[in-house]
Amino acid sequence: MPTDPRPIGVFDSGIGGLSVLKHLARLLPQETFVYLGDTARVPYGNKSAETVRTYSSQCAAFLLTHDVKMIVVACNTASALALDVLRSMVSVPVIGVIEPAAREAAERTRNGHIGVIGTRATIASDSYARSIERFSNGRKLDVHSRPCPLFVPLVEEGWLDSPATRLVAEEYLRPLIANGIDTLVLGCTHYPLLNTVLTAILPGVELIDCGECAAVDALRVLETGPQEPLHMPLIYLYVTDHTPAFTMLARQFLGMPVDEPVRVNVEHLVLPPDIR
Amino acid sequence: MPTDPRPIGVFDSGIGGLSVLKHLARLLPQETFVYLGDTARVPYGNKSAETVRTYSSQCAAFLLTHDVKMIVVACNTASALALDVLRSMVSVPVIGVIEPAAREAAERTRNGHIGVIGTRATIASDSYARSIERFSNGRKLDVHSRPCPLFVPLVEEGWLDSPATRLVAEEYLRPLIANGIDTLVLGCTHYPLLNTVLTAILPGVELIDCGECAAVDALRVLETGPQEPLHMPLIYLYVTDHTPAFTMLARQFLGMPVDEPVRVNVEHLVLPPDIR
């Protein structure tokens, strides 16, 4: 059993963060997880930085009511825009999805050309480029970024490998191919579900799954190695709205059966002053 | 000048309602309009009925603080799920976008086969089919419905006439073509911007623009004919979040230049009890 029995908190604007939770649960099957999907206000990717910070603080405040020992921000937009704010207001470790993937990309690239794809807000924040630069160890790395706003609706439509998805992906990735990238950061938690299409269009390019990297980072922060699976990991699922698509898609993202989520209201929560 | 100088209130989950406001402003250029786009919580189309009703009530409450003489619900999802609630709580006339388009479709079809496309929530509500049935005058009308969730992101990406958009539209519309529709209701305020693609795929099919029909309905309720344009219509734009895309897209939807919108907070508004 974990030495600290408190749960690990995970939040996302909606369902995508379950692809991060999937890797956390795989590496840390003895832990208990509390997941909050802010489905009443999804998506964050086209909202202002101020609004994303407010919503993220409310999500973190909800997780803290569950006495979590760590918060994983399983949303690229929130990681890009709200991570610093959360870290300054919360006393437990806060892990985002951007830094771990940026480090992995900087270490893995051979030719120094790294592609980054994500939502419009994530790409506009330039967070991946700045973070990759920080992990470059003085090596010259070229980051080629491209927002791919249609990928999330295509995944949520279930068109994971349709002709339209291929056409959209070819259009989005053409400039990155022209730039000669050998590594591509999937800077959105929905994108790993497009793996088949992306691999077909980008043969030989290493795909970096930000959720997998964040889970490895959680191990490092918890100072533990991968745990032996003793039972199915305990996962408590919360949402801010019961949306028809959630349960249908959740299983696909998480890779295992899920219970019906419990609906909660977080709009009026604020991070408590005693932990600022 | 209008006999009643109070403004007309219009709200939508985001930017799409501007394609409704476009027709209102064209037919009623002497009126003053107050438009609220709930951009902090857009889209409504994948949220639960209860949440859509709460958000719609808050939008209506905001418009009533401007002493509007009429509320146009320029959002298909809100019209499908919240119109009855709003009508029961508000003393001014409330116009939705579904009934007027349903009536128009029932009157225009020659062969009795009507297609309806919209968001998942709008189609799942079955509001168009029920409303078309009400306006059928006993004639047998077959309604063929299809959710098209990718159309909104395609429009917002600006891919109004791209190969991917054509491929997606062909996929979505194939069953409606097989059903032999001669009339298609564009049951989402974003869809009129896809007119070129839709007309190319559906030659000879009448396209019904729900915003245009709602504007005609507003004339009927105000008991006025189309007004002579004396000056540019006065439009006050409000949003619940300053999103990067709004101003860029607003001009396209409205068909005229727009001022920067003013940001407001509506989360804590409730419809005042004295007008319930």
Is residue B276 over pLDDT 60? no
Cα gap B11→B86, rounded to integer Å: 12
pLDDT tens digits for B35-44? 999 999 998 9
pLDDT tens digits for B60-91? 999 999 999 999 999 999 999 999 999 999 99
Quote the pLDDT of residue A272: 67
User: Do B149 and A156 make contact, defined as CB atoms within 8 angstroms?
Assistant: yes
B-chain residues within 8 Å CB-CB of A167? 163-164, 167
Minimum-distance CB partner of B40 among A47, A149, A157? A47
Quote the pLDDT of residue A45: 84
Is residue B274 over pLDDT 80? no
In the set B75, B148, B210, B213, the catalytic residue is B75
Q: Give one DSSP letter per residue of A186-239, joined into a string.
A: E-STTGGGGHHHHHHHSTTPEEEEHHHHHHHHHHHHHT--PPPP-SSPEEEEEE
Q: Tell me the mean pLDDT in the region A156-174.
A: 96
Q: Tell me the mean pLDDT in the region A199-227.
A: 95
Minimum-distance CB partner of A40 among B51, B121, B154? B51
- Select the CATH number that applies to the domain covering B8-96+213-269 from these four: 1.20.120.1630, 3.40.50.970, 3.90.226.10, 3.40.50.1860: 3.40.50.1860
Residues whose CB falls within 8 Å of the CB of residue B208, separated by 6 or more in sequence, listed in order:
B101, B104, B105, B108, B183, B184, B185, B186
The domain ranges of chain B are 8-96+213-269, 98-210
Cα dihedral angle (B154, B159, B163, B164), rounded to 10 degrees?
A: -20
Domains B8-96+213-269 and B98-210 agree in fold: yes
How does DSSP classify residue B228?
Answer: P
Residue A79 or B224, more confident? A79
- pLDDT confidence bin for B275, thresholds 50/70/90: very low
The structure's pTM equals: 0.89
B213 is catalytic: no
B-chain residues within 8 Å CB-CB of A163? 167
CA distances for B55 relative to A51, B11, B128, B260, angstroms: 17, 11, 21, 23
pLDDT tens digits for B87-129? 999 999 999 999 999 999 999 999 999 999 999 889 999 999 9
What mean pLDDT is reported for chain B? 93
- Residue among B268, B272, B248, B269 nearest B260 (CA): B248
Residue B193 or A229, more confident? B193
DSSP-based three-state secondary structure for A152:
helix
- pLDDT confidence bin for A243, thresholds 50/70/90: confident
A-chain residues within 8 Å CB-CB of B162? 171
User: Do A120 and B245 make contact, defined as CB atoms within 8 angstroms?
Assistant: yes
Q: A with B: how many residue pairs have Cβ under 8 Å apart?
A: 74
What mean pLDDT is reported for chain A? 93
- Residue among A94, A99, A90, A80 nearest A9 (CA): A94
Q: Tell me the mean pLDDT in the region A229-256.
A: 88
Is residue B170 over pLDDT 80? yes
Exposure on the CB side of residue A257, measured as CA atoms within 13 A: 2
Is residue A148 over pLDDT 50? yes
Cα gap B26→B5, rounded to integer Å: 17
Q: Are strands B70-73 and B32-37 parallel, antiparallel or unpaired?
A: unpaired
- Select the CATH number that applies to the domain covering B98-210 from these four: 3.40.50.1860, 3.30.565.10, 1.10.10.10, 3.40.50.200: 3.40.50.1860
Q: Which residues of A are catalytic?
A: 75, 188
Give the least confident one: A115-124, A267-276, B152-161, B202-211: A267-276
Burial (CB count within 10 angstroms: exposed 0-12, middle 13-18, buried 19+), residue A195:
middle
State percent of chain A over pLDDT 90: 83
- Tokens matching residue B236: 């006050």
Quote the pLDDT of residue B272: 67
- Tokens matching residue B46: 């994948």
pLDDT tens digits for A109-129? 999 999 999 988 899 999 999
Is residue B273 over pLDDT 50? no
Is residue A244 over pLDDT 90? no
User: Do A167 and B167 make contact, defined as CB atoms within 8 angstroms?
Assistant: yes
Give the least confident one: A203-212, B211-220, B238-247: B238-247
Q: In terms of DSSP H, where are the helices of chain A? A: 18-27, 49-64, 76-89, 98-108, 120-125, 127-134, 151-156, 163-178, 195-201, 210-222, 245-254
- Identity (one letter) of the amino acid at B155? V
CATH class of A8-96+213-275: alpha beta
- Select the CATH number that applies to the domain covering A98-211 from these four: 3.40.190.290, 3.30.300.30, 3.40.50.1860, 3.40.190.10: 3.40.50.1860
User: Do B150 and A149 make contact, defined as CB atoms within 8 angstroms?
Assistant: no
CA distances for A131 relative to A103, A125, A147, angstroms: 8, 11, 17
Our CA-based measurement puts residue B210 at a distance from the nearest CA of chain A, in whole angstroms, of 24
B-chain residues within 8 Å CB-CB of A242? 48
- pLDDT confidence bin for B256, thresholds 50/70/90: confident
Residues whose CB falls within 8 Å of the CB of residue B120, separated by 6 or more in sequence, listed in order:
A244, A245, B45, B46, B147, B149
Say if the ipTM goes beyond 0.95. no
- pLDDT confidence bin for B14, thresholds 50/70/90: very high
Give the least confident one: A37-41, A180-184, B1-5, B188-192: B1-5
User: Do B46 and A242 make contact, defined as CB atoms within 8 angstroms?
Assistant: no
Cα gap A66→A26, rounded to integer Å: 22
